[in-house]
Amino acid sequence: MSLTSSSPAHRLQPLLEPKRVAILGASPRENTLGNNVVANLVRFGFSGGLYPIHPTATEVAGQRAYANIASLPEVPDCVVLALSADKVLQALEEAASHGVRAAVVFASGFAELGEEGRALQTSLQALCERTGLVICGPNCLGLVNIAQRTTLYSSSVPESVWPGGLAVVSHSGSGCIAISTLARFGLSHLVSAGNAAVLDMPEYLHYLAQAPETRAVALFMETMRDPAGFAHAMQAMHRAGKPVVALKVGKSKRGAAASAAHTGALAGSAEAHAAFFEAHGVISVNDLDEMTESLALMLHLRQRPSRGGIGIISVSGGETAMLCDIAEQLSISLPDLAPETHTQLRAVMPAFGTPSNPLDATGNAVYDTRIYEACLEALASDPAIALVAAAQDCPPGLSKLGSGNYRRIAEATARVAARVDKPVAFFSMVAGGMHPHVLEPLHAANVPTLQGTRASLLAFQRALSHAERLQQLEDPAQPAPAHIDVQPHWHARLASGKALTEREAKNFLGDHGLAVTREVLARDIYEAIAAASRLKYPLVLKIESPDIAHKSEVGGVILGIENGDDLRVGFEQLLNNVRTKAPQARIDGVLIQEMIRGGVEMIAGLTQHPPFGMGVVVGSGGVLVELLQDAALALCPIHHDTAHQLVGRTRGAQLLAGFRGAPAADAPAFEQLVARLSAIGAAYGDVLEAVDLNPVAVLPLGAGARILDALVIPRVSNP
């Protein structure tokens, strides 16, 4: 491994590639943490200096023991602390004073245990910053470097572990155990990071990007502490051509920071993490089954898929129908086949077969694998297909005859995979294991083998999306996101923390280039009449109050004011409604607003998503916005092209395109508004809590988009 003194990998070498290891708290008693570490190192053939430390014992797990660090014949690169939390700091101070550069801390009792534990962890971090120690943990199982036979690990390392290309980094010890004991993958590294007080996932990713044994990384993540550092580490992983598959747990929707904003209820922590992972080329999964199958695919893909969809071959009409059902439920598109592919398939299939995707190659293909191979090659030649998957159930309980039949299908798949220039995978539509006789030729040919219909289909789709995202990230002509300059007087106004009225909110948005309605504040009916003469009918009346976020809920909005009589009656009615339903609210007057007729109602907004900052949300708008729950989120800022993709993920996109004969709306204008709104979020994120634009009227194509109602909420943390 070629390392420079400034690289993150060099900093972690004493931890992940130590030549000399000391174990503090090593015990001659079996099934204790310190004894487990020594036994693991011996069992796995660690060839470096191994120094158990115990104040009185002369031997631990067959190895000579020493009384303390000072009595060791050489300075260890790394110390493993099998000690209680109250003894950790003193032990680390002593280790650092002798020149030790790294440590593994198993002990719990740090930040996971309340204020006292957090204070102890802060002291540990300060010690490491002062001494330069790098630490795995605390509250962890430790780490394993398979290639180096280094097992600084308190749990038993499974006998089934073999060297391979997968590195696992997990905040959860159980997550580490679950992935490492699957016996589906060879491992390069296993890191139980625990509280990750000193080293977290970004540092480990930087190291693994340079580790030649590692081909892919699995992350079991409980929290994201350093988004910028993680993004930088992902750049290193992409340069190295190593995919990262992440399972982020604890993504339940947080309460909206500003409950007044509809957009806060539409997109929570799960959506923000998904948006961050998508932006930085991380393959995000929802459970361990999905992670397993994505890893099974990504570890063995021969080449990056091109743009296109999934082509699937089966030998069962019923299971082909099931594939269609599940793909539709998962919103996975299986492209229609080109006419020339139909011609190829008809030439090789039995007369009763039907060319389609998914393709039922019929039972004849089980016995005549020439049919199967020809069908597979036809799918691979289709211009709309980027990845070909052979769907064949082969559970461990197959009979000898059945496993022989399906082995021939596996052999045919392996032969085609070696000939075609597109990725080919094999999956069993049932999980629970696969027959080894069937797997053998696939493994020999390095064909990815997956289990379970849903998890496999999702893995295929994510691989295609990942390839497309990497192409975008590598494109030197990738357009820059939208940008605006901060206007000091508006920054100061928001920093005051004082609520903005709708009129102020629209002034703020208008000053930053967003199209808003024309309106005038009237404090009495006479000012209202004068305003109406300037704006022209029809009009809308809205209450102006810093205490009322959603005006329609208190009768604070009256539409369709067509003339002076309507204006007089409506003005009085509006004030009476609000005084009755919100008697404590301050009333600054009535907003006389031009009425925009027609158009498609959409919503756009900004919400805070710690630790990522502002996110921009779009979706179908109007009074039923929270009932419809139709929204998509991206982190700020975004480019117009990203805004187009964002809007395209909502059901509102169908309305904008012209639903059931309606004229197309000005979607490009709305997308431009969304991109510019995201720039506002990026520029004012330190003083903004949320922005809610609902509805935004998207007028007929060429007529633009207009913000009809706006809510701008300053950061609640401001004084």
CB atoms within 10 A of CB 457: 25
Do both 615 and 557 map to the same domain?
no
Q: In angstroms, rounded to a whole number, what is the distance separating the alpha carbons of residues 360 and 453?
A: 16
How high is the pLDDT of residue 336?
96
In the predicted model, what is the mean pLDDT of residues 8-20?
Answer: 86
Do both 462 and 540 map to the same domain?
no
Q: Which CATH number do you get for residue 678? A: 3.30.470.20
Residue 626 scores a pLDDT above 70? no
Counted domains in the chain: 4
Residue 716 scores a pLDDT above 50? yes
Grade residue 627 by pLDDT with cuts at 50, 70 and 90. Answer: low
Q: In angstroms, rounded to a whole number, what is the distance separating the alpha carbons of residues 176 and 144?
A: 11
Residue 513 scores a pLDDT above 90? yes
Last residue within a domain, chosen from 594, 621, 641: 594
Do both 525 and 658 map to the same domain?
no
Grade residue 520 by pLDDT with cuts at 50, 70 and 90. Answer: very high
Residue 259 scores a pLDDT above 80? no
Do both 576 and 605 map to the same domain?
no
**Amino acid identity for residue 81 in this structure:** L
Condensed to tens digits (0 to 9), the pLDDT of residues 133-164 reads: 999 999 999 999 998 999 999 988 888 789 99
Residue 719 scores a pLDDT above 70? no
Do both 461 and 577 map to the same domain?
no
Pick the more confident residue, 548 or 298.
298
Residue 260 scores a pLDDT above 90? no
Q: Which CATH number do you get for residue 377? A: 3.40.50.261
Q: In angstroms, rounded to a whole number, what is the distance separating the alpha carbons of residues 550 and 618?
A: 19
CB 245 within 8 A of CB 291: yes
Query: What is the H or E stretch that residue 635 is in?
Result: strand 631-635
Output the six-digit token pair for 20.
């000399």
How high is the pLDDT of residue 252?
56
In the predicted model, what is the mean pLDDT of residues 489-494?
Answer: 96
Residue 263 scores a pLDDT above 80? no
Do both 186 and 335 map to the same domain?
no
Task: Name the pTM for this structure.
Answer: 0.89
Q: In angstroms, rounded to a whole number, what is the distance separating the alpha carbons of residues 119 and 561?
A: 62
How high is the pLDDT of residue 624?
58
How high is the pLDDT of residue 9?
46
Q: In angstroms, rounded to a whole number, what is the distance separating the alpha carbons of residues 77 and 66?
A: 16
- Running DSSP on this structure, what letter comes out for residue 516? B
CA distances from 52 to 24, 36, 154, 264, 654 (A): 7, 11, 14, 54, 67
In the predicted model, what is the mean pLDDT of residues 674-689?
Answer: 96
Q: Which of 5-19, 291-305, 571-585, 700-714 has the lowest mean pLDDT?
A: 5-19
Of 335, 332, 325, nearest in space to 461 by CA: 332
Last residue within a domain, chosen from 210, 227, 242: 242
**Residue whose tokens read 């000005």:** 666
In the predicted model, what is the mean pLDDT of residues 409-428?
Answer: 96
Do both 425 and 540 map to the same domain?
no
CB atoms within 10 A of CB 715: 18
Q: What angle do CA 278, 283, 287 make, to 5 degrees?
A: 120
CB 169 within 8 A of CB 217: yes
Output the six-digit token pair for 117.
């534990």
Q: Is residue 677 part of a domain?
A: yes
Q: Which of 83-92, 412-421, 525-534, 614-623 has the lowest mean pLDDT?
A: 614-623
Q: Is residue 507 part of a domain?
A: no
How high is the pLDDT of residue 606?
95
Q: In angstroms, rounded to a whole number, what is the distance separating the alpha carbons of residues 100 and 123?
A: 18
In the predicted model, what is the mean pLDDT of residues 293-299?
Answer: 97
In the predicted model, what is the mean pLDDT of residues 39-44?
Answer: 93
Of 718, 613, 629, nearest in space to 279 by CA: 613
Q: Which CATH number do you get for residue 40? A: 3.40.50.720
In the predicted model, what is the mean pLDDT of residues 194-221?
Answer: 96
CB 331 within 8 A of CB 462: no
In the predicted model, what is the mean pLDDT of residues 47-68?
Answer: 94
Residue 255 scores a pLDDT above 90? no
Last residue within a domain, chosen from 242, 257, 286: 242
Residues counted in the chain: 719
Do both 202 and 61 map to the same domain?
yes
Do both 572 and 663 map to the same domain?
no
Q: Is residue 499 part of a domain?
A: no
Condensed to tens digits (0 to 9), the pLDDT of residues 463-480 reads: 999 999 999 999 888 888
Q: Which CATH number do you get for residue 560? A: 3.30.1490.20
Burial class (CB in 10 A: 0-12, 13-18, 19+), 163: exposed
Quote the mean pLDDT of the chain. 91
Residue 575 scores a pLDDT above 80? yes
Output the six-digit token pair for 129.
């910053």
Domain that holds residue 75: 8-242
